[in-house]
Amino acid sequence: MENYLNSMFNSAMCNGCGTCIGVCPYSALEMKIVSEGFYKPVLDSSRCKRCYICVRACPLTSTFTSTKKSFIGNHRSVYIAHSTDPLIRFNASSGGVVASLVAFLFDSHLIDGAVTTKMSENHPLLPKTYIATNKQGFMESSGSKYCPVHVNSVLKQLINLKGNYAFVGLPCHIQGFKSAESNVAKLKDKIFVSIGLFCGHTVNFYGTWFLLSKFGVNLHDVSKVTYRGKGWPGGMTITLKNQKEIFIPFQGELGYWRNFFQHFFFTPTYCLLCDEGVSRCADISVGDAWLPELQNKENAGESIVVARTAKAEKLLTDAVNAGYLSISKVSVREVLRSQRDMLSFKNQEMVRARAHLLRLIGKSSNYSRSPFKPLTYFAVIFPLLNAIATESPLGARLMLKTPSNFLKLYTSFTYLILKMCFNSAR
């Protein structure tokens, strides 16, 4: 049993969502940062009672799936939306929809709390998942967290609480919660609404270390990190203990995402094997509206919002009528346009091809050995190389020493190759 559990937790498919931690009744599992720079569960065999709850609840072994009606999953309506509060909108990753919607839920007494994530006060480079019990507490979590997060470890706390809760997480967190809910009776009906965030991939902890080092920041001098905000698309703000702030743009010529993370440097293996980017399992899905016609001089963001259930539609309508949100209905085509590159990357043929190559170099996966077109292999080789090269401290240091001009040429070349391959795959 111990060998089986350890092999499951050490699988390349394990996304560190924390579901197993959250449902274990004996506290036999603990999340730890492994050498690749992300969280994975570690088993304490002396505490384990062989109840198999963690195995049944794990989204990798669960039979729970979302029914796909299209690339974006089952849905009732799609909107472009933003918060009517200018400050919330300015500090959000995109349009501030999640923050304002949850604020509406608190103010309307529809929820008693919300599962969410912020950066830790004591360890500013590490995330902290918690249950916010009021609007102000939730606002502390505003903005994206480009680092590994084990949201579902908080399920252990949620099991023992009464009331209704909102749940905010990435696609893998939503899948994990749905799987846990179907296996743990005390979790049923706890979540009033689930809000899933769009996700192309996350970034391991070496990615943040790399950015700080590149800009000459000592890790011990950091008091706070926010990855998005200050307009749209905004950027990363590093606050030092002496109150000095360093701002790194998200996009543009100096953008940290455009130059590094967009090219899958510091990307965990499990993200390369994921075909879910738009939170198909959630009640409401939200992401950046990357549409040229929506860019404005005020740098105010807009969000793509997918309502998947009748309850979700009603909540959005009520939030609009109460003055929290501004929305306009659009077609599914706008979702596909705004998330074109992400959806191409997560095309199932691309995922299976990456899995096939990972198997060849000794990383296990559950995908078939189907042959692929040469162009498909060409499209997946660069993301794999970039991710594997930066999954260790040594890789991050070598990346730091790579001349900027060479790196710029390399990333420009690989991006053009990927675009060509993605366009041919559509």
**More confident of the two residues 52 and 112:** 112
pLDDT average, residue stretch 224-229: 96
pLDDT score of 173? 97
- What's the domain count of the chain? 3
pLDDT of residue 321: 98
Among 279, 313, 341, residue at a domain's last position: 341
The domain spanning residue 36 has which CATH number? 3.30.70.20
Peptide bond into 371 cis (omega under 30): no
Domain holding 337: CATH number? 3.40.640
Boundary residue ending a domain (290, 321, 341): 341
**Three-state SS at 403:** coil
Taking all residues of the chain, what is their mean pLDDT, rounded to a whole number?
91
Structure tokens at 208: 């943040």
Any residues with CB less than 8 A from the CB of 217 and at least 6 apart, and which? 238, 240, 246
Reduce the DSSP state of residue 421 to 3 states and report it.
Answer: helix
Residues 180 and 286 both lie in one domain: yes
In this structure, the number of other CB atoms found within 10 A of the CB of residue 67 comes to 8
Amino acid 156: pLDDT:
94
Q: Do residues 307 and 421 both lie within one domain? A: no
Q: Specify if 264 maps to a domain.
A: no
pLDDT greater than 60 at residue 142 = yes
Domain closes at, from 312, 341, 370: 341
Q: Are residues 196 and 332 in the same domain?
A: yes
My answer on whether 312 and 411 are in the same domain is no
Instruction: Give SS3 for 143.
Output: coil
14 and 163 both lie in a single domain = no
Nearby residues of 113 by Cβ (< 8 Å), 6 or more positions away: 131, 132, 133, 161, 163, 165, 166
CB 1 within 8 A of CB 50: yes
- Residue 1 pLDDT more than 60? no
- Give the lowest-confidence range in 267-271, 336-340, 416-420, 422-426: 422-426
Q: Which domain holds residue 82?
A: 77-203+270-341
Is there a single domain that holds both residue 314 and residue 379? no
1, β-bridge pairs:
none
pTM: 0.94
Q: Is 235 inside a domain boundary? A: no
Of the candidate ranges 15-29, 39-53, 292-306, 357-371, the one whose mean pLDDT is the lowest: 357-371
Same domain, 184 and 331: yes
**Residue 302 near residue 81 (C-beta atoms within 8 A):** yes
Q: In terms of pLDDT, which residue wins out, 259 or 192?
A: 192
Residue 283 DSSP one-character state: S
In a domain, 236, yes or no: no
Is 276 a residue whose pLDDT tops 60?
yes
194 and 324 share one domain: yes
Q: Are residues 337 and 347 in the same domain?
A: no
Q: Which helix (H) or strand (E) holds 377?
A: helix 374-389
Instruction: Phi first, then psi: give them for residue 202, nearest 5 degrees.
Output: -100, -175
Could you tell me if 336 and 354 lie in one domain?
no
Give the burial class of 342: count Cβ atoms within 10 A of its Cβ; 0-12 exposed, 13-18 middle, 19 or more buried: middle
